[in-house]
Amino acid sequence: MSDTEFLETSTGRRLAFHRTPGQGPWIVFLGGLKSDMMGTKAVFLEDWARQRGRAFLRFDYSGHGESSGTFTDGCIGDWAEDTREAVAALTDGPIVPVGSSMGGWQALLLARAEPDRVAGLVTIAAAPDFTEDGYWATFSDAQKQRLKDVGQVELPSDYMEPYVITRRMIEDGRQQLVLRDPLDLPFPVRFLQGTADTAVSVATAVRLLEHATGPDMQLRLVKDADHRFSDGPCLELIVHAIDEVITATV
């Protein structure tokens, strides 16, 4: 494994990354909320890409992993800025974003911002608009009042320590929504979703499939797979999906 490198962004953030040059299109892994680039999927995909001579990038958003900043200071828009700057500075030519959970939302934002650069797209338990539809929509009156008065609430997680959700994350999230307006994805797309996922529902995956438009779009449900989607069979499904979208662009 290569040593971690750092990118200084125009916003003054310091983003940690691992970059593997190779044949394009660049595969860009986008991790989930509070995840980092040392996760199972990110490292597995880097090894897979290296073995095949494919270009690959993984990085930490600000406030995540080895990057600068504090998680509670960040929001969806900040991490979208990080993603665009990392892609602009560290890749060239066509890209295939591979977004996991919140990274799926980031992949959709990137595709909307840079459609000419995206050759294909793969998401894993994508969580678009979750700050509004998953958090705000289910907050109790007491939680909404605490968010207003204190500026943050804590939410339990089935996969890690509680999430601290800030008022800024909720308010910024409303500026980043992708399921309210047309979402055209004019390239091969594969959405992967486990039926045992307790963080992102199958209904969310179906809503994304029905909302987005594009010429080559598929949703693949995996029975009993959870939100991690990182056991051996799931990892093989991810690389198969990447291979499919790359082959479809040739």
Provide the residue ranges of all domains of the chain, joining segments of one domain with +.
5-129+183-249
Model pLDDT, residue 159: 63
Burial of 20: CB neighbours in 10 Å, binned 0-12, 13-18, 19+? middle
- Residue 48: count of CB within 10 angstroms of its CB: 18
Q: What are phi and psi of 98, to 5 degrees?
A: -125, 105
Residue 31: CB atoms within 10 Å: 26
In this predicted structure, what is the pLDDT of residue 1? 59
Note the pLDDT of residue 39: 92
**Secondary structure tally for the chain: helices H, strands E:** 8, 10
Query: CA–CA distance from 246 to each of 60, 77, 130, 140, 143 (Å)?
Result: 24, 28, 28, 44, 44
- Provide the 3-class DSSP secondary structure of residue 201: coil
Q: Are 167 and 135 in contact (CB under 8 A)?
A: no
E-only strand ranges, the chain? 5-8, 14-20, 23-30, 54-59, 95-100, 121-124, 152-155, 163-166, 189-194, 217-222
Cα separation, 160 vs 33, in Å, equals 11
The topology (CATH level 3) of 5-129+183-249 is: Rossmann fold (3.40.50)
Alpha-carbon distance of 242 to 161, in angstroms, equals 31
> What confidence score (pLDDT) does residue 162 get?
78
76, 81, 82, 83 alpha-carbon torsion, rounded to 10°: 90
Whether cis (ω within 30° of 0) applies to the bond prior to 25 is yes
For residues 18 and 20, give the distance between their C-alpha atoms in angstroms, rounded to a whole number: 7
**Hey, which residues does 118 pair with through a beta bridge?**
95
Mean pLDDT by 10 residues, the chain (250 residues): 89 96 96 93 97 97 96 96 98 97 98 96 98 95 93 80 89 97 97 96 97 97 94 96 89
